[in-house]
């Protein structure tokens, strides 16, 4: 934003957070950029699992901080990121609870629904496309924008959440053991 830098407008910058509640108001006051929050769940149990920071700053505390975020208005909505996990956070009840929470806190909101991008050995699965559509419809019919993000890069394990190698990193001790086993096999 600095004139000596790129001089981007505040409206073209979005601060993304998992919910570091004590710093949200300060960020809003000092830099005044748009806000995106990685929500991903509407219950404590599920959010604790997929967003460990929730154990420190729970959903209610996070949404109160969003409601107090300086500059949040219908013109500058808060974006809630919501990854769609099959059987975990994608039910009609979850969609209705999401709507209830947003309305309870009177949040000017948009919800980005993100199809989960699996990788080999991932502990979760992506919700079915029809389930995602139904979730989106429930949120949208309540007057809240709920677009589904188009996944890109899945074919090369480079989509959102996939930037992870499929090869496991071996410790030095494991590498030495494998080398010794190989040498022993060659010696026989």
Best CA proximity match to 38, nearest among 165, 164, 162, 161:
161
Matching residue, tokens 């809003």:
28
Measured CA to CA, the distance from residue 43 to residue 41 in angstroms comes to: 6
Task: Report DSSP letters for 61-77, one per residue.
Answer: HHHHHHHT-TT-SSSSP
Q: Provide the pairing of β-strand 109-115 with 78-84.
A: parallel
What pLDDT score was predicted for residue 153? Answer: 54
Give CA angle at 40 (47, 137), nearest 5°: 135
> How do residues 84-109 score in pLDDT, each as one tens digit?
999 999 999 999 999 999 999 999 99
CA gyration radius, the chain: 21
> How do residues 148-174 score in pLDDT, each as one tens digit?
988 655 554 444 544 444 445 556 777
Measured CA to CA, the distance from residue 131 to residue 85 in angstroms comes to: 10
What pLDDT score was predicted for residue 159? Answer: 45
Measured CA to CA, the distance from residue 46 to residue 38 in angstroms comes to: 13
Q: DSSP 3-state assignment of 16?
A: strand
Whole-Å CA distances, 73 to 35, 68, 97: 11, 11, 22
Measured CA to CA, the distance from residue 67 to residue 62 in angstroms comes to: 9
**All structural domains of the chain with their residue ranges:** 10-187
pTM for the structure as a whole: 0.79
CATH code, residues 10-187: 3.20.20.70
Q: In the chain, which residues have pLDDT < 70? A: 74-75, 151-171, 175, 178, 182, 187-188
């Amino acid at each position: 934003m600095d004139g000596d830098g790129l001089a981007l407008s505040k409206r073209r910058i979005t601060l993304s957070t998992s919910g570091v509640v004590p710093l949200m108001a300060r960020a809003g006051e000092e830099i005044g950029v748009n806000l995106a929050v990685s929500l991903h769940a509407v219950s404590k149990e599920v959010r604790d699992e997929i967003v460990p920071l929730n154990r420190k700053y729970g959903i209610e505390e996070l949404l109160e901080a969003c409601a107090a975020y300086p500059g949040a208005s219908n013109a500058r909505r808060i974006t809630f990121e919501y990854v769609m996990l099959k059987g975990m956070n994608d039910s009609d009840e979850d969609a209705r609870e999401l709507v209830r929470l947003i309305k309870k806190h009177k949040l000017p909101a948009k919800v980005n629904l993100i199809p989960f991008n699996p990788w080999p050995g991932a502990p979760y699965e992506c919700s079915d496309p029809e389930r995602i559509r139904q979730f989106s419809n429930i949120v949208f019919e309540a007057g809240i924008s709920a677009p589904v993000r188009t996944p890109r890069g899945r074919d090369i394990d480079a989509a959102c959440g996939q930037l992870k190698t499929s090869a496991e990193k071996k410790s030095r001790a494991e590498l030495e053991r494998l080398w010794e086993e190989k040498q022993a096999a060659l010696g026989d």
